Amino acid sequence: MGEQVRNAIQHHDGLEFAAALEIASHPQLGTELAPGVVLGDDVDTALADADVVIDFTVPAATLHNLRAAAKAGVPYVTGTTGLSPAETAEVEKLAEQVAVIHAPNFSVAVNVMGWLVREAALKLGEGFDAELFEIHHHAKRDAPSGTALFLAEAVAAGQGRALADHMVLERAGDTGPRPEGAIGIQTLRGGDNPGEHTVYFVGAGERLELAHRSTTRDHFARGAVRCAHWLIGRAPGLYSVDSVYGLE
C-alpha cells in the first residue's frame, strides 16, 4: 500500500511526497525514494516535513504514530483495521487534538456500496435475511475484514439493529434455525486477492446481491490520497470518509 500511495501522490496535483516511514528492521531503510525523501524509521523526523499523514500499518504502529502526529498537529488518515475497542477509543480521543479520518476502506465504490447496503436493508425490511461474504489474500491479519464489518454495520443501521447483538461469525454443527435478525459474515483467505465483498439479501423466492471486487489496490490508495488532501487545514475531529465523498 505504501508504494501504491506514493504512486497516487505523484498523480495528484495538490500533494507532494514529503517523507516515508517504515519499521526499524526494514531492509530498505536509508534508500532515497524520491529527490530528498529517504526511507526512515523515526516518526518525529518524518512528521517534521509533513502536512498530512497517510497510514496503512498495524494497530500498534498506527497508535504510536498517531500519538506523535497529534502532538505535532499533523492531520492523519489511516486505513488500519483490526483495532480493539480500546484502541479505537484512543483514536477517537486523539482526534480531539488533530483532524483524523479512520476508514476501513477508501475505495469510492466500496463506500457507495455501503450507502446502497444501508438503503437496501431499510427498504427491503423484515422479509429478507442478510449475509456477507469476503475473501482476501493469505497474508491479511484480521478477520472479518474491516470492510466486511463496515458493510455489516450498514446492514444493521438500515435494519435499526445493533450489529454486536446480531453478528454471526461462524456456523458449525447443529446450529438450529437461523436467529431472527442475524447478520452472518463468512471469511475466506487465499492467494493474492486484494479483496472481494458480497452482501446477500435473501428473501422468499428472490435474492438481491450487492458486490465489490478488487483486482488491484490502486483505488484504495487514490481514495486515501483524496481524503488526505481534503483533511489538510481541518479543525481537530474524527471525520467520516462519507464527508469526503458526499455520502452523508
Catalytic residues: 136, 140
The rounded distance, in Å, linking the Cα atoms of 160 and 58 is 31
The rounded distance, in Å, linking the Cα atoms of 56 and 80 is 5
The rounded distance, in Å, linking the Cα atoms of 202 and 194 is 26
CB atoms within 10 A of CB 56: 20
The rounded distance, in Å, linking the Cα atoms of 100 and 14 is 19
The 3-state secondary structure of 168-232 reads ECCCCCCCCCCCCCCEEEEEEECCCCCCEEEEEEECCCCEEEEEEECCCCHHHHHHHHHHHHHHC
